[in-house]
């Protein structure tokens, strides 16, 4: 009996969907098997894991509580400090061959320093398939937990709708002179501008921006001053502006400047971790959808794709247009970019 063309198409589609469903179920089963095996190994290590984490303690407490609810035999300990202070601590420990940390949560060029100094190891979590390539390091060197868009924030009362800057060169208009704030030592953003425009054109932009006399202020204070009308524009983190906006402040921000540069917070496995299987178990959980939703509720932008409950404003970010800023570039250029940035704008 011959089947009609439409019937054959229907059968083919059904087989195609069935095949992909089986693949998805198989992948889920493999992940579950790996998770069960890792949990048994972690339990045999004593049930403790140490994280050096830059993430705020109020957020990590929620993550640790959820982790311990899933794995009641596990306890997470956290050392929290400024990333520079945490980096110095772990460098000192490894020079002395004291291996105390299991999991590393750092950001920016620090991530590459940890790899180059052989403090971070390579680990590919089964959860990493849910992250776009831009949010993963080479060969499992790191995975991004969340990111900050570095963009143009503005006061909606002071900047009329038809005058709102849409891109970086718009900030050079004479009407913005003396009305701009920006984050000090804004090096990932600085490097992104130079990468996108080229050294010569990028530095010309910085010289012209410096003539606008921008005032250096830290992210939260800068956005608070922006809300109060001290600035018309603040060059900084878009997610901080969104937090203020959600509280009723007259602030908004540009979702797609060119270049769109982001600062990433990353997760790494410590080399010579005293509890390696416990560390992997925690990393797998920390990269899960469950934790991504916790971070989303705490006003972070998870790097994981397809997270529900994300603020609609963050869904407007064109992730595929983010300018890649390799960690090794950030580290290699750090000293020069710091010197150049301060020569243009001063030290905050």
- The pLDDT tens digits of the residues spanning 99-133 come to 999 999 999 899 999 999 999 999 999 999 999 99
Q: Could you give the count of Cα atoms lying within 13 Å of 268 in the half-sphere of its Cβ?
A: 31
Rounded to an integer, what is the distance from CA 58 to the centroid of its chain? 18
Two domains, one topology: 30-147+263-311 and 149-262+326-345: yes
Joined together, the tokens standing for residue 215 give 């005032």
Q: What is the DSSP string of 53-75?
A: E-S-HHHHHHHHHHHHHHSTT-E
Q: Is 335 exposed, middle or buried (0-12, 13-18, 19+ CB in 10 A)?
A: exposed
| pTM value surpassing 0.85 | yes
pLDDT at 201 over 60: yes
Among 144, 127, 146, 121, smallest CA distance to 38 is for 127
pLDDT at residue number 4: 58
Domain locations in the chain as residue ranges: 30-147+263-311, 149-262+326-345
Determine the average pLDDT of the residues in 50-77: 97
CA atoms of 9 and 28, how far apart (whole Å) = 29
pLDDT at residue number 47: 94
pLDDT at 239 over 70: yes
Of residues 28 and 66, which shows the higher confidence score? Answer: 66
pLDDT in tens, 124-143: 999 999 999 999 998 899 99
CA atoms of 187 and 288, how far apart (whole Å) = 30
Run of H or E including 107: strand 103-107
CA atoms of 252 and 166, how far apart (whole Å) = 12
The CA-atom distances, in angstroms, between 278 and each of 47, 63, 100, 239 are 7, 15, 13, 32
pLDDT at residue number 336: 97
CA atoms of 292 and 309, how far apart (whole Å) = 10
Is 93 within 8 Å of 99 (Cβ atoms)?
Answer: yes
Right CATH number for 149-262+326-345 from 3.40.228.10, 3.30.930.10, 3.40.50.2300, 3.40.190.10? 3.40.190.10
Q: What CATH class is the domain 30-147+263-311?
A: alpha beta
Q: Helices (DSSP H) in the chain: which residue ranges? A: 5-43, 57-70, 83-95, 110-116, 187-197, 199-210, 219-228, 238-246, 276-286, 289-297, 312-315, 327-345
pLDDT at 24 over 80: no
pLDDT at residue number 23: 41
pLDDT at residue number 263: 95
Sign, Cα dihedral of 242, 243, 247, 250: negative
Q: Which residues on adjacent β-strands are paired with residue 247? A: none
Among 298, 294, 302, 299, smallest CA distance to 266 is for 302
Rg (CA), the chain: 23
CA atoms of 31 and 239, how far apart (whole Å) = 32
């Amino acid at each position: 009996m011959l089947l009609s063309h439409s019937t054959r198409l229907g059968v083919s589609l059904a087989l195609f969907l069935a095949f992909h469903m089986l693949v998805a179920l198989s992948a889920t089963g493999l992940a579950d098997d790996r998770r069960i095996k890792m949990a048994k190994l972690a339990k045999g290590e004593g049930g403790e894991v140490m994280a050096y984490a830059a993430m705020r303690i109020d957020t990590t407490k929620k993550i640790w509580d959820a982790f311990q609810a899933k794995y009641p035999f596990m306890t997470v300990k956290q050392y929290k400090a400024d990333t520079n202070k945490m980096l110095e601590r772990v460098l000192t420990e490894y020079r002395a061959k004291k291996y105390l940390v299991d999991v590393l949560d750092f950001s920016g060029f620090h991530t590459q320093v940890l790899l180059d100094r052989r403090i971070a190891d390579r680990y590919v979590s089964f959860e990493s398939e849910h992250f776009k390539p831009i949010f993963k390091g080479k060969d499992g060197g790191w995975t991004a937990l969340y990111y900050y868009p570095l963009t143009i924030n503005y006061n909606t009362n002071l900047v009329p709708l038809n005058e709102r800057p849409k891109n970086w060169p718009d900030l050079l208009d004479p009407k913005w002179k003396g009305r701009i704030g920006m984050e000090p030592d804004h090096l990932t953003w600085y490097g992104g501008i130079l990468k996108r425009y080229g050294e010569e054109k990028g530095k010309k932009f910085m010289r012209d921006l410096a003539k606008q006399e921008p005032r250096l202020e830290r992210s939260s204070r800068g956005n608070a001053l922006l809300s109060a009308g001290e600035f018309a524009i603040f060059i900084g983190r878009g997610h901080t502006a969104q937090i203020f906006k959600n509280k009723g402040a007259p602030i908004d921000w540009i979702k797609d400047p060119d270049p769109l540069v982001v600062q990433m917070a990353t997760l790494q496995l410590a080399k010579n971790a005293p509890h390696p299987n416990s560390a992997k178990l925690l990393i797998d959980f920390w990269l899960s959808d469950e934790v991504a939703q916790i971070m989303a509720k705490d006003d972070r932008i998870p790097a994981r794709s397809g997270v529900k409950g994300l603020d609609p404003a963050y869904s407007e970010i064109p992730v595929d247009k983010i300018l890649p800023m390799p960690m090794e570039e950030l580290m290699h250029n750090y000293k020069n970019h710091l010197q150049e940035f301060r020569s243009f704008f001063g030290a905050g």
